[in-house]
Chain A
Amino acid sequence: MKILVPTKRVPDTDQKIVASADGLRVETDHIPHVINPFDAIAVEEAVRISERLRDVEVVAVGIGGPEYEQPLRTALAMGAARGIIVQCAKPLDPWNVSRLLKAIVERETPDLVLMGKQAVDDDANQTGQFLAALLDWPQATFASRLEFIGNELRVDRETDHGIETLTLTLPALVTTDLRLNEPRYASMAGIMKARKKPLETIAAGELGVPLEPRVEVIRYRSGDTRRAGERLASLDEFAALIAQAAGIGG
């Protein structure tokens, strides 16, 4: 079995991120970057599957400039077997990311695509769904549990109404939610091995996918994250306020 894990490199969104003065970009130069946390969960799940079942190859893929080596090496250190960087200098919208990923899926013919449900930088939550539709594959988004039963994949997915269980035939696409697992920290041996694992670079142009931007960024604006607080005199006053907000009591 082959599992393809698309990853994204994102700024650490726990740090303060602001729009540039001209509004044309987000200032992230000095912010530490990490592998998208939902993608780290996808890598972890793929590696756990490869540790549990025989003959499973985990391939991590990233789209971007040379700096994408970093999240891919992270995936390799966690246990992925090899990596692919699709070189593309331009920032892409989710539609074009999924079209490039479709070309990679056609080259690699994986049985399963496992990816984060969204990237924490733009929170678009579209790429997985687009990719499954382009491939005409079954999809299960927001997965909190994965289990292989025979040739089928049983997935628990988190919805606003509770846990929904789906059974998918392979090949399939699954996007990962927060509670699926807790990603590991790579071991020393894992980090050393990752340095020697193959990392292939493909120019986006070689994939024969003409880019068709559908999203135009007009302007970035920093939101006002500080909300005005109020000092209350007593706990009773606080309780009354909560009750009022909840629409209960007097």
Chain B
Amino acid sequence: MSKAITADAIIIGGGVAGLSTAMQLAGRGAKVIVLERERIGNGSTGRAAGLLGQLRGNAEHTRMLMDGVEIVRELEKQAGVEIFVPTGSLRIAETPERAEEIAALVAMGKSIGFEIDHASADEVSRMLPYMRTDDLLDACYSPTDGHIQPAELVSAYLKIGKARGVEYRTHTPVVQILLDGDRVRGVRATDGEYHADVVVNAGGPWSYLNAELADAVLPTAAIGHYYLTTRPDPAHPVDRLSPAIRDRHLRLYTRPESGGLIVGIYDPEPELHDMRRLPVDFDMSRMKAARDSIQVAQLLDAANRRFPWIDGRTPMSITTGIMTFTPDARPFCGKMPDIDGLYHCSGFSGHGIVQSPTIGLIMSQLILDGESTYDCESIEADRYFDVPGYVNRVEIEEKCVRMAGNYYGGVERPRPVASGSR
């Protein structure tokens, strides 16, 4: 390729963050090219379980997720695929502090009009006959939650994006970000230059390396994650609309999958990956867990406590992949103050699938309007800019690993939102 290709925006990364942003930008008439180092959806996107729990500790995040479901409903109509599976969700408490957490969560949810209520151990047992419930102190049920099927979401983003003229180039790693002083003017990929006034770094676990191409610091870290999927077992049938479960005490989440059960864990001592050490064309879809992985052993141990029929001999597959964590488990969306035109969209900390529908909209607003209709204060890309302790990789990784390790372990104290505010 001798002559540079020009576009309005270049998106680095063909995962859900990049695909959603591309689709939204193109919907407003922008010419967009997505550059993906491997195949579309090969990274974290392809390994995700896609659980959607809309109620967050922060009212604005809850609103983003609730609106995301509406966007997904629209995508389903346009693309003709089932993306959202409305299973409902349960949170369970086996300790007094987790019971307090659930009480606070129910109060907070009700204060913003979110459908949620307490559920007794008997009710939980009726809904989930395959789960141990005799140790539960409390539970809460949210009927409008569920999960998003990652592959179907990707295909909808692609189908609609293509119809809107987005160009997708796979097996095309970006090797350089082209700058003109403090302005971005494009990228150089392995097949040549792409010129645009807007470059979006949606590289997931690779995004901190993309940022480094522009001498920018993006405080994210690549964190290993594991879940198991049991094969269908007539002795323990799992209905496809069986509610998702969150057991923060055991650090587990579950959802139905093809007649079996997905059980994942937010490990207290997660693995840190150095993305620089992985080949640039690393195939995350073929990533494997070692037979003596401590993370898998911990997952099996915790899963067995909640589902006594699951043990090391249960026919199952183990899925492992890499998540992108930030020091506060919230994503980075937007620009840094010192480089114009370079936008970051990364750090979804295990929630990229379900956040992506609204995040794409927010990114398109930030890029085309300079502001969003959402309050983006807690997800601004520059919130750690030049903050001591968040500059070099060692300190960034230490903070992200700590956040990932405490992710399910820490007890939340959600507070009801005062009436009048949103």
Chain A residues proximal to chain B, CB less than 8 Å: 12, 14-16, 30-32, 34-35, 40, 73-74, 77-78, 182-188, 190-191, 194
Q: Say whether B388 faces chain A, with CB atoms less than 8 Å apart.
A: no
The CA of A207 and the CA of B281, in the complex, are separated in Å by 42
Q: Looking at the complex, which one of B286, B293, B315 makes contact with A185 (CB distance below 8 Å)?
A: B293
Contact A185:B278 (CB < 8 A) given known A12-B286, A34-B288, A77-B291: no
Q: Looking at the complex, which one of A73, A185, A187, A188 makes contact with B289 (CB distance below 8 Å)?
A: A185
Contact A186:B288 (CB < 8 A) given known A16-B279, A30-B277: no
A-B contact pairs, 8 of them (CB 8 A): A12-B286, A14-B283, A30-B279, A182-B315, A184-B291, A185-B293, A185-B312, A186-B296
Q: Say whether B374 faces chain A, with CB atoms less than 8 Å apart.
A: no
Q: Say whether B290 faces chain A, with CB atoms less than 8 Å apart.
A: yes
A residues within 8 A CB of B290? 34-35, 74
B residues within 8 A CB of A78? 291-292
A33 closest partner in B (C-beta): B290
B286 closest partner in A (C-beta): A14
Q: Looking at chain A's contact residues, is the secondary structure mostly helix, strand, loop, or mixed?
A: loop
The CA of A29 and the CA of B291, in the complex, are separated in Å by 21
The CA of A176 and the CA of B183, in the complex, are separated in Å by 60
A residues within 8 A CB of B315? 182
Query: Are B312 and A188 touching (Cβ within 8 A)?
Result: no
Query: Are A186 and B313 touching (Cβ within 8 A)?
Result: no
Query: Are A187 and B279 touching (Cβ within 8 A)?
Result: no
Q: Looking at the complex, which one of B278, B286, B288, B297 makes contact with A190 (CB distance below 8 Å)?
A: B297
The CA of A173 and the CA of B120, in the complex, are separated in Å by 58
Query: Are A16 and B283 touching (Cβ within 8 A)?
Result: yes
The CA of A187 and the CA of B287, in the complex, are separated in Å by 20
Q: Looking at the complex, which one of A15, A35, A74, A77 makes contact with B286 (CB distance below 8 Å)?
A: A15
Query: Are A187 and B281 touching (Cβ within 8 A)?
Result: no
A residues within 8 A CB of B292? 73-74, 77-78, 185-186, 190-191, 194
Contact with A along B290-309 (1 / 0, CB 8 A): 11111011101100000000
The CA of A14 and the CA of B283, in the complex, are separated in Å by 8
Query: Are A15 and B282 touching (Cβ within 8 A)?
Result: yes
Q: Write the nearest CB–CB distance from A72 to chain B, whole angstroms.
A: 10
Q: Say whether B318 faces chain A, with CB atoms less than 8 Å apart.
A: yes
B226 closest partner in A (C-beta): A185
Q: Looking at the complex, which one of A14, A16, A32, A74 makes contact with B291 (CB distance below 8 Å)?
A: A74
Contact A186:B291 (CB < 8 A) given known A30-B277, A30-B278, A191-B297: yes
The CA of A182 and the CA of B291, in the complex, are separated in Å by 11
A residues within 8 A CB of B287? 32
Q: Write the nearest CB–CB distance from A200 to chain B, whole angstroms.
A: 19
A residues within 8 A CB of B277? 30
Query: Are A185 and B288 touching (Cβ within 8 A)?
Result: no
Closest 8 CB pairs of A and B: A77-B292, A14-B286, A188-B297, A186-B292, A74-B292, A185-B296, A184-B312, A30-B279
Question: Which parts of B261-283 form the interface with A (CB within 8 Å)?
Answer: 277-279, 281-283
